[in-house]
Amino acid sequence: MKLGLVHIILILGMGALTLGTAGGMLTAYQSLMPPSTEVGQTATLIVSLTNNGPDSILAKVSPSSPPGVFANGGEQSLELYPGMTQQFSYTLNPQQSGSYMIESFISYAEDGVSWRSLR
């Protein structure tokens, strides 16, 4: 049985978002390798974040999976310096046949205190 994981929700779309009043810019992309997998096999979801702004940004990425798909790994966090790109990854294990929408929850803070959600 084939499980199609092709339908990935790109939480941030394929563009950039302007963050905060400091004019910082965070760009995010999400991809899945391989784009489909067999039930019981593993796929890797990769979330890439780039800080295009002048200030450091703290970012957190958490996996979210629908019933039928198990996401391995919890919340990951790091500080993104200006011009820095960082990838977060976690594995997905489909337990049931079907097509699924996979989300990643991303939150950020430019000042380290005021957290905002990009979902």
Q: 57-102: per-residue pLDDT in tens?
A: 999 998 888 898 888 888 899 999 999 999 989 899 988 888 888 8
Position 119 scores a pLDDT of 53
Q: Would you say residue 35 has pLDDT above 90?
A: no
Report the residue count for the chain: 119
Closest CA to 8 of 85, 60, 71: 71
- Which residues share a beta bridge with 65? none
Question: pLDDT tier at 4 (50, 70, 90 boundaries)?
Answer: very low
Share of the chain above pLDDT 70, in %: 78
Fold of 2-108: Immunoglobulin-like (2.60.40)
Cα–Cα distance between 30 and 7 in angstroms, integer?
A: 11
The whole-model pTM stands at 0.74
Identify which of 4-13, 19-28, 61-70 has the greatest average pLDDT: 61-70
Q: Would you say residue 33 has pLDDT above 70?
A: yes
Q: Would you say residue 11 has pLDDT above 70?
A: no
